[in-house]
Amino acid sequence: MDNLAQIKIPPWHQSTEFLTSCPQLYVESVIKGHPQPGGLDSARGKEVHQTGAAYVAYCALERVSLDLAKFDELAAGAGPLAARILAGMRDSYEVDFTHVLATELTLSLDEHFLPTQVTDAIKGTCVDTGEEPVTVGTLDALYAFPVEATMRIDDLKTHPKPFEPGDKLQAKTYALLAFMHWQWVEKVIFRLIFVRYRKVTREVTFTRDQIPDLIAAVKAGRERQIKIHADYEAGNKIEAIAGSHCWYCPLLSNLKCPIAQYNENMQLTMTQRLNFNLWYAQFSRKNNQVMRAYVQERGRGIVLKDYNGKAYVYDHVEVESEVYPVFKFIDQRMELRDGVNPTLPIIDLLIDYAAGNPDDSEWMKNVVVSSTPLRRYLKTNKRSFLDQAVEDAVVKVPKSPIRVSKPLDAVPEAEFDDDEEFEDEEEL
């Protein structure tokens, strides 16, 4: 521990989990102090967080749940990239102004996971140990519900694809920060708000009895960080691990990554990969057409044997799919159970189960009718009234598939910088 005491180890932040994914990235960015410049992606992320925090603070002070004019003013001031993303949450983001406690609130814990460096905004709510901070986080927006002994943490995300907060250490870290600063809190809701979309949130709930598990999770991350410092100080070989974090590594651009020749993230540029994707898609389509025609005409499959003696066959394979009918038909006529109402074989079973098991029915909200076959039957002139009625009842589910666009004459310059950003410590 004497050697470790000589190493200035920065506190654990949200970004530390990402950086320690690859020890080489952490050493280069943190210990050597050579992080890759943030660029437009980083600036955009900061502007989105700052705009969101300013809007929540404004609504709390003015005691309004929303003010579209003010939102537009703040979003426009954030810059074109951030403003375009923020437009997704504009009409649906309402602030619970009666319960806002703070915005952009930085909380810190010492090595014993006790509050330290308590900011003036919350002084008097807990005891400040005065020790060096070991775990630090900045909460975009914090809501307090004293009657329910609950706090909610809202965190803005600009990622194109929503994800579950429970998959990230950030949720556990922020929940732990809240529990340790406010002893009256029995439950913490950590909520991610994906600002590109209307009303798209993901949340996870923690209770006070989970504090030991939260501490263990944060401690494990901190120990990984300490080990990297210790290995570097001792002159040990620092491991390099390939992954999505490579895009933020300064060693990617100058090919100094120790595993450059094996790192799939360094073999081709992204433009080259897209070019290959387009070529492969065309080749695969034509190739499959020829093979299908051959199998259809000759009536037998194509057989390939590898060097291990295993065979692969391209041929028709009979499979049986399962569908769950909404209605029951007999001799092309819909069966009516009482002369008026139709028989609903699957729906009736679900309704009977829900009636007998009310505590196990929440999952049924995910049972839906696929839109692809339904819309094919609705989009005809004689069913236009039904089509409109169904459209009025439909629930819009935001999705963000990644696909290649049709040929474009031009692409706005900003599009080239619209990747998922790595959020710096200032954005936490």
Which tens digits make up the pLDDT trace of 364-400? 888 888 887 888 888 888 888 888 888 888 877 777 6
Would you say residue 338 lies in a domain?
Answer: yes
Flag whether the pTM goes above 0.75. Answer: no
Clarify whether residues 208 and 355 are in a common domain.
no
Would you say residue 195 lies in a domain?
Answer: yes
Clarify whether residues 299 and 339 are in a common domain.
no
Q: How many domains does the chain have?
A: 3
Domain that holds residue 307: 270-314
Clarify whether residues 133 and 185 are in a common domain.
yes
At 106, list the tokens: 């930085």
Q: Is 184 within 8 Å of 149 (Cβ atoms)?
A: yes
| pLDDT at residue number 421 | 40
Which tens digits make up the pLDDT trace of 326-365? 888 888 889 888 888 898 989 989 999 999 998 898 888 8
Query: Residue 283: left if φ>0, alpha if ψ -120 to 50, beta else—which one?
Result: alpha
Clarify whether residues 288 and 208 are in a common domain.
no
CATH code at position 168: 3.90.320
Q: What type of residue sits at position 25?
A: L
Which tens digits make up the pLDDT trace of 52-70? 899 999 999 999 999 999 9
| pLDDT at residue number 111 | 94
Clarify whether residues 179 and 122 are in a common domain.
yes
Would you say residue 419 lies in a domain?
Answer: no
Clarify whether residues 307 and 333 are in a common domain.
no
Clarify whether residues 284 and 212 are in a common domain.
no
Clarify whether residues 310 and 334 are in a common domain.
no
User: Phi/psi of residue 324, each to 5°?
Assistant: -115, 100
Would you say residue 245 lies in a domain?
Answer: no
Q: What CA–CA distance (Å, rounded) separates 155 from 190?
A: 8
Q: CA dihedral in degrees (419, 422, 424, 428; nearest 10)? A: 100
Clarify whether residues 109 and 226 are in a common domain.
yes
Cβ-count burial of 123 within 10 angstroms (0-12 exposed, 13-18 middle, 19+ buried)? exposed
Clarify whether residues 146 and 210 are in a common domain.
yes
Clarify whether residues 12 and 101 are in a common domain.
yes
Q: What CA–CA distance (Å, rounded) separates 133 from 140?
A: 19
Would you say residue 59 lies in a domain?
Answer: no
